[in-house]
Structure 1
């Protein structure tokens, strides 16, 4: 577990130095990277985080000028999100995150290996009584503990 925490902490520091983004903010932006507008609810669902966490990430990224909101034309209650030019530039310079490397290696495993790893990790989370904890908050908290301040645009 220490190796996992050390790897994510190191990656978080590198990401913060190079882009000013937290891992959760980077993942949020990567979901928007395809160029197609999505809603905050769709982002929350894909990231597996709560609507409240999504809203907090959205507000930080919007105030940093990385993403923009647009009201739906047919339904004004619907809000679509997309990257700004600054957001696209930040993504272009962002280092490959530990999440991306894990996903690449995990998807190359055989099905039975993937199932075994997921089961083991779920068991560890249950043992730590962390099943209800939002993963994005944990990842960003590692950066806070390391003394990295969140990105503030100048």
Structure 2
């Protein structure tokens, strides 16, 4: 690896640690006591999918299905999500938010917006758009190929 690439990686890792640790801590401290950061993210993923499955959540979290099952079980027990079986294929189970889950998620989402938005005001709109596009591209590369050239 050349020195320039190593320098970029070090800068990325340094910024990643500061940003993710601080934002996650602020989110953890501000969202409902009923909800962990991971549970908030699960609700966010469920909300964004018309037919969300445990498999989708496991892939998004990059964890095994047993880990997702444990997390979703807690959300079911708390009355925030429910499971429904596909009428055509009873093996297929979909996850959706209950009204209580939607209410808790909406409150948490508002808190997250209040935490993140003040940071955005320090940047031009075009810079924010470019950053998000590049970050989305990095996310896509990680999901598709692990960054390797095919």
Q: Shared fold (TM-score greater than 0.5)?
A: yes
Give the match for residue 14 of structure 1.
30
TM-score, normalised with respect to structure 2: 0.60
16, 21, 25: which one aligns with 1:5: 21
Deviations 1:82-130 (A, max 9, x none): 11000110111114438x949x979733599659xx6xxx9xxxxxxxx
Give the match for residue 84 of structure 2.
70
Q: Distance in 2 between matches of 1:50 and 1:87?
A: 24
Q: Which has the larger radius of gyration?
A: 2
- Per the TM alignment, residue 39 of structure 1 is displaced from its structure 2 partner at its CA by 1.0
Q: Is 1:45 equivalent to 2:66 in the alignment?
A: no
Are 1:23 and 1:97, in contact at CA under 8 Å, matched by a contact in 2? no
Give the match for residue 57 of structure 1.
71
Give the match for residue 92 of structure 1.
106
Q: Distance in 1 between matches of 2:41 and 2:61?
A: 8
Which structure dedicates a bigger proportion of its chain to helix? 2
* Structure 1 segments (4+ residues) deviating >4 Å: 104-107, 110-115
Aligned residues: 113
Are 2:32 and 2:104, in contact at CA under 8 Å, matched by a contact in 1? no
**Relative contact order (C-alpha < 8 Å, sep 6+): which is higher?**
1
Q: Check 1:114–1:64 CA distance in 2 against 1; reply closer, same or farther (3 A cut).
A: closer
- Per the TM alignment, residue 49 of structure 1 is displaced from its structure 2 partner at its CA by 2.7
Listed as ranges, the gaps of 5+ residues in structure 2 are 1-16, 121-126, 143-150
TM-score, normalised with respect to structure 1: 0.58
